């Protein structure tokens, strides 16, 4: 698996156990929950508190689909690993590589999935952080 910044990836692996990993409390599919987590570093519940922005890490295990969902907050992802596919606003799945930036506007329906490799991405949210994502499928 190729990573955007091997030194950053090594440091994140070393710190992973000490980070506070969470899941969206509105999601109920236990099989999905076992394969998905995020760590809010900055934000309303993050290590550094901010009520206007959130930033953290998203992790999806190999062979996992994050179903179509939407949320009021706009978001930007910086993909750290190869091997994920993304779809937005009904577009076909697109392969994404380490180092790419992906942007979703407020309430844009989007989904992501992994193949043989896990996905690790940095996310930044802005706007309405009070309402969580809603799964649509």
Mean pLDDT of 26-53: 92
Residue 24 lies in a domain: no
User: How many CA atoms within 13 Å lie on the side-chain side of 78?
Assistant: 11
User: How many CA atoms within 13 Å lie on the side-chain side of 100?
Assistant: 15
pLDDT of residue 12: 78
Mean pLDDT of 91-119: 96
Task: List phi, psi (to 5°) of 36.
Answer: -135, 145
Rounded-to-integer distance, Cα 108 and Cα 74, Å: 8
pLDDT of residue 13: 74
| Beta carbons of 106 and 127 less than 8 angstroms apart | yes
How do residues 7-17 score in pLDDT, each as one tens digit? Answer: 777 787 788 78
Dihedral (C-alpha) 88, 90, 91, 92: value to the nearest 10 degrees?
A: 110
The domain of 92 spans 57-127
Residue 27 lies in a domain: no
Residue 111 lies in a domain: yes
Choose among 57, 44, 62, 50: nearest CA to 132.
44
pLDDT of residue 134: 87
Choose among 31, 118, 13, 126: nearest CA to 77.
126
Q: Of residues 4 and 49, which shows the higher confidence score?
A: 49
* Tally of domains within the chain: 1
Residue 135 lies in a domain: no
Residue 13 lies in a domain: no
Choose among 105, 107, 100: nearest CA to 122.
100
3-state secondary structure 47-113: CEECCCEEEEEEEECCCCEEEEEECCCEEEEEECECCEEEEECCCCCEEECCCCEEEECCCCCEEEE
Residue 122 lies in a domain: yes
Residue 22 lies in a domain: no
Residue 5 lies in a domain: no
Which CATH number is 92's domain given? 2.60.120.10
pLDDT of residue 1: 55
């Amino acid at each position: 698996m190729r990573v955007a910044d091997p030194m950053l990836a090594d440091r994140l692996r070393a710190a992973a156990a000490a980070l506070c990993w969470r899941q969206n409390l509105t999601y109920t599919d236990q099989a999905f929950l076992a394969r998905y987590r995020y760590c809010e570093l900055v934000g309303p519940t993050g290590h550094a508190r901010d009520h206007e922005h959130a930033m953290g890490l998203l992790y999806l295990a190999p062979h996992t689909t994050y179903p179509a969902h939407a949320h009021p907050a706009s978001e930007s992802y910086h993909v750290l690993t190869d091997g994920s596919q993304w779809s937005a606003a009904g577009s076909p799945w697109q392969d994404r590589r380490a180092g790419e930036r992906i942007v979703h506007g407020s309430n844009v329906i989007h989904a992501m999935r992994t193949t043989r490799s896990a996905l690790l991405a940095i996310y930044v949210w802005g706007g309405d952080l009070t309402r969580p994502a809603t799964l649509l499928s």
